[in-house]
A and B are shown apart, each in its own frame.
Chain A
Amino acid sequence: MGNFTLGRYIPMDSPIHKMDPRAKICAMLLVLIAVFMPAGWLGYGIIFAVVAGVILCAKLSFRYILKSMKPMMFMMLFLLVINCLVMKTGTPLFTIGSFVIYSDAITQTLYIVVRLLLMIMITTCLTATTKPLEMTLGIEDLLKPFEKIHVPSHEIAMLISIALRFIPDLIDETTRIMKAQESRGVDLKEGKFTEKIMAILSLVVPLFVSAFQRAEDLANAMEARGYAPGEKRTRYKVLKMHKRDWILLCGAFALLAAMIVLAYFR
């Protein structure tokens, strides 16, 4: 279970890591919108160059990002097949059997693939350089204005941080229960269909039981320490915007503006 790279925090000492999570989240959203501007290949080239610059700046390796692309490969192949079947515009390129493959099918798929690639690169820039805790703090702050329309920003942030905190615990628990059931003769790899169902059941039921148990314990522990969701709370860590954060935001805005201009004059 250790080869799970998408969305993992990578501790490094870089200017990007030190930035304010709110600035990073906003910049990410702006650049993501920029990706969806129909600015053509020139636009994508500019965005790619900028994002690659940020990745270098954050001391992340491109190999790592390529690795996190792997789960997407199947989806891209699927898109290619669908596009080839549906798209009937552009110049016919070649035929497979009675099927004619048109040039637009290929270019459309390439567009989508490039967009996906860019989106993964951009989101990785955020998740790999921001600690989960900082991220939730950032989300909480960004949701603050929506409290006027009764969005429980603090509760949402608390939910996210608790969920993140329990992922490694639940992975440990799963391996533990798997081993215990294997000791009782459960074979998760081989066996008939009915046996496999039973094997999964013997894993899922104890996992649910212990997850609920943990949730109850945590709820009691929080209550015992006086946690009340609606109350006003002070923070140990106070976020502060620095010059570099404003520069990042301005850069993201400039990129979006450039894409809009490019799309307009295309």
Chain B
Amino acid sequence: MAIKFEKVSHVYSDGTPYRYVALADVDLELTEGKMTAIIGQTGSGKSTLVQHLNALLLPTSGKLTVLDKVIEAGKEQKGLKALRGQVGLVFQFPEYQLFEETVLKDVAFGPKNFGLKEEEANEKARQAMAMVGLGKEYEERSPLEMSGGQKRRTAIAGILAMDPKVLVLDEPTAGLDPAGTKSMMELFRKLNKEYGKTVLIVTHDMEQVFAYCDEVVVVENGKIRVHTTVEDFFRDSTECRKMGVLPPALITLKEMLRDKGFKVPEGNLNIKELAKIIAGQVKKHG
């Protein structure tokens, strides 16, 4: 099993008046090779959860297994840097981490830190830039002069160049325009389906969860409320609403149609299939 949390807790500022329990006895097993969405309200513990995955935060109690690495609370940790190369974590608004003179240098910074030689690192960087859709003409540009969307791509390429097995993204599309969001999400799906990377996305956008992800984890008050497939998750929309989750438009539409007496089959349909079914039934009943 790739990623396994066993009774993991994380307490901030323990022993002071500012003590805050961000994660409480979390048990979670994430499936390798899937694209999983992590959802939950602000302050629910999502960010704390994902920062455990590459050992930026260590559990204050419990046991965590990531790939081959076992991290137990209270034990001396070694080899965390190697883990960070295998689990690429992209923070929210990652464009703030850019600092090099040229885009190529910045993207190659990660692989170089993990011991690759200049040439190899540059090669990895070029591949990563191509993946995010930054052509050769950007290589010598200053990252600070690019547009917001391009900066975001550069920062994500900087993580991809490390060639991680697991890619963790904290709200990767926040603040991007709809076109940018779409191409970004399609890139993550491609990385998951074609390159076989395990992808975890923290997001607030249910349309994204519905359209791109395989599984959903709902975090609530530092605990895992639900961990299931996307299909099962959106099947019962009253359950969703109870958790403060607004189901995607397509699901809502299907429910409204059912209420009005249309026969809508179970399972995830895309908008075209649904339109066909409605048109067919409308014609039949005139």
**Which residues from chain A sit less than 8 Å from chain B, CB to CB?**
2, 173, 176-177, 179-187, 201-202, 205-206, 209-210
Q: How far is the CA of A182 from the CA of B54 in the complex (A)?
A: 10
Q: How far is the CA of A10 from the CA of B98 in the complex (A)?
A: 37
B96 at the interface (CB under 8 A from A): yes
B234 at the interface (CB under 8 A from A): no
B262 at the interface (CB under 8 A from A): no
B residues less than 8 Å from A185 (CB atoms)? 81, 84-85, 110, 113-114, 162
Contact of A201 among B89, B94, B98, B99 (CB under 8 A): B99
Task: Select from chain B the residue with minimum beta-carbon distance to A187.
Answer: B81
Task: Select from chain B the residue with minimum beta-carbon distance to A182.
Answer: B56
Known contacts A179-B51, A179-B56, A209-B144; is A184 also within 8 Å of B98 by CB?
A: no
Contact residue range for chain B? 20 to 34
Q: How far is the CA of A93 from the CA of B188 in the complex (A)?
A: 77
A residues less than 8 Å from B114 (CB atoms)? 185
Q: How far is the CA of A114 from the CA of B211 in the complex (A)?
A: 70
Q: How far is the CA of A173 from the CA of B98 in the complex (A)?
A: 14
Q: How far is the CA of A187 from the CA of B81 in the complex (A)?
A: 8
Q: How far is the CA of A2 from the CA of B144 in the complex (A)?
A: 32
Task: Select from chain B the residue with minimum beta-carbon distance to A180.
Answer: B97
Q: What 9 A-B pairs come out closest when comparing CB atoms?
A: A185-B113, A205-B99, A180-B97, A184-B110, A183-B89, A185-B114, A180-B91, A202-B99, A206-B99
A residues less than 8 Å from B144 (CB atoms)? 209
B62 at the interface (CB under 8 A from A): no
How many pairs, one residue from A and one from B, have CB atoms within 8 Å of each other in the complex?
55
A residues less than 8 Å from B110 (CB atoms)? 184-185
A residues less than 8 Å from B88 (CB atoms)? 183
Beyond contacts A184-B84, A184-B110, A185-B110: 10 other A-B pairs, Cβ-Cβ < 8 A, are A177-B96, A177-B97, A179-B51, A182-B84, A183-B159, A184-B109, A184-B158, A185-B85, A185-B162, A187-B113
Chain B's interface: helix, strand, loop or mixed, by majority? Answer: helix
18 contacts between A and B (CB under 8 A): A2-B13, A179-B91, A180-B94, A180-B96, A182-B56, A183-B90, A183-B159, A184-B84, A184-B97, A184-B110, A184-B159, A185-B81, A185-B114, A185-B162, A201-B99, A206-B97, A209-B96, A210-B96
Q: How far is the CA of A180 from the CA of B90 in the complex (A)?
A: 7
B residues less than 8 Å from A182 (CB atoms)? 56, 84
Chain A's interface: helix, strand, loop or mixed, by majority? Answer: helix
B residues less than 8 Å from A209 (CB atoms)? 96, 99, 144
B91 near A183: Cβ-Cβ < 8 Å: yes
Contact of B162 among A184, A202, A210 (CB under 8 A): A184
Q: How far is the CA of A210 from the CA of B88 in the complex (A)?
A: 23
Q: How far is the CA of A205 from the CA of B90 in the complex (A)?
A: 19
Known contacts A176-B91, A179-B51, A182-B56; is A206 also within 8 Å of B96 by CB?
A: yes
B residues less than 8 Å from A181 (CB atoms)? 97
A residues less than 8 Å from B89 (CB atoms)? 183
Q: How far is the CA of A205 from the CA of B81 in the complex (A)?
A: 23
B residues less than 8 Å from A176 (CB atoms)? 91, 96
- Residues of B139-160 contacting chain A, CB below 8 A: 144, 158-159
B residues less than 8 Å from A206 (CB atoms)? 96-99
A183 near B56: Cβ-Cβ < 8 Å: yes
Known contacts A176-B91, A206-B99; is A186 also within 8 Å of B113 by CB?
A: yes
- Residues of B102-148 contacting chain A, CB below 8 A: 109-110, 113-114, 144
Q: How far is the CA of A209 from the CA of B106 in the complex (A)?
A: 15
